[in-house]
Amino acid sequence: MSRELLQNVRVLDPVSGSDRIADILIAEGNIKAVEEKIAEFPADTEVRDCQGLILGPGLTDIYSHSGEPGFEDRETLESLIQAAAAGGFTRLAILPDTSPPVDNLAGLALLQQHIRNLSPGLPRLYVWGALTAGVKGQQMAELGELASYAVVGFADGLPLSNPALVRRLLEYIKPLGKSVALWPCDRTLAGKGAAREGAVSVRLGLPGIPASAETSALAAILELVASAGTPVHIMRVSTARSVELIRDAKARGLPVTASVTWMHLLLNVGAISGNSKDSSGRNALTASLAYDPNLHLEPPLGNLSDQLALIQAVKDGVIDAIAIDHKSHTYEEKTVAFADSPPGAIGLELALPLLWHGLVETGEFSALELWRVLSTRPAVCLGQTPATVAAGVSAELILFDPDMSWTVDGQSLKSRSANTPWLGQQLAGKVVQTWIN
């Protein structure tokens, strides 16, 4: 393996809390030295001046969707890992909503066979096992058998409407020692809504989804966690009231962690109107079509108060991690009326540059804070040891150029689909190299 010396690079390491300019020597897949100045190194070392570039641990995505098997026209595993690698993700956990779903050993074996056929590369793929048979929320999947094999934990990625079933699931999974991820959403309250209920949804003429669709389901989950004592990860937090409930739950010592998806930090429901920015300046789109179906998400983009509460909750640690929830859809699926389009958007290649410029360069987050919630904390939420930048450890690193310009289009994107509101826009920020041993 090659030997490289990166000089004058900005090194971010959330594990040690370090943000400094240093030299780093990488050889044979391992970090050999991280020092202020490395003067002595082997003659065959490739020396690179990395002034202005950022080196940090590889990013971890807690949950995203794979089209393969079953929906390869949307996304293949190959295109998924290529998109993840291009975005700086060295670990990627995929939800079990494939076809067939990962709800038994046969479904898991099929997905693992597809994974083994991938070309060598990045990232490391982890699989969530389904909580319920067929991911339909009616009866328990084969949890005991799946727990004996290589699943990172259990999650349907869809709401569970039966509290009695949720209770049984938590009681059954507790001794298995696996992670559980739940999405709080009451489908009866959400109805056929397509945008967060409020003044903006009324002005846009879109059916609204009340915040209570999330918070009522979350309150029920937290009560069941308090009863069962099973650690649970709360997915897709999107409301200010949910932040309050999670803060209170953590203060009471409940074993919960939580994540918010990246677009809910950068945008609010005002983006759907097509304005480049709303009156608060909080929407990180330089241009957008009105009623762009790529802004139809689940949960929906929140109101401004939700967005501000989510940003603060990430800074405070009430919300532990940022998730990508990458979900590809074909052009034909998304080229319909806003409310008729399937919810979801891609994000693996876009999240780091847009969050960097939308939150770090604006002073909202420090660089270390952003890296922590994209790398270290997501790994901890998955029950993994996070990557670090230190001499003597395996190299799991990315090199990020915050100023490199590129255009979001079908040629530059590795993802098979291009369902993103940033399509056609010029962005700054690109991962230029990745290491993993």
Task: Provide the annotated active-site residues.
Answer: 325
Q: What are the start-end ranges of the H helices in 140-186?
A: 143-147, 163-173
Give the gyration radius of the chain's Cα atoms. Answer: 21
Q: For the chain, how many residues are written? A: 437
What is the spatial distance between Cα 345 and Cα 300, in angstroms, rounded to a whole number? Answer: 12
What is the spatial distance between Cα 239 and Cα 213, in angstroms, rounded to a whole number? Answer: 10
CB 374 within 8 A of CB 419: no
Question: Tokens at residue 365, please?
Answer: 């987050």
Q: Say which residues have a Cβ less than 8 Å from residue 403's Cβ, sequence separation at least 6.
A: 52, 428, 429
What is the spatial distance between Cα 282 and Cα 289, in angstroms, rounded to a whole number? Answer: 17
Question: Would you give the distance in Å from CA 101 to the centre of its chain?
Answer: 20
Residue at token pair 């996304």: 75
What is the spatial distance between Cα 212 and Cα 239, in angstroms, rounded to a whole number? Answer: 9
Question: Tokens at residue 92, please?
Answer: 């990627």
Taking the alpha carbons of 403, 404, 409, 413 in that order, is the dihedral positive or negative?
negative
What is the spatial distance between Cα 134 and Cα 67, in angstroms, rounded to a whole number? Answer: 16
What is the spatial distance between Cα 154 and Cα 180, in angstroms, rounded to a whole number? Answer: 5
Burial of 118 (0-12, 13-18, 19+ CB in 10 A): middle
Q: Say which residues have a Cβ less than 8 Å from residue 40's Cβ, sequence separation at least 6.
A: none
Q: Say which residues have a Cβ less than 8 Å from residue 37's Cβ, sequence separation at least 6.
A: 23
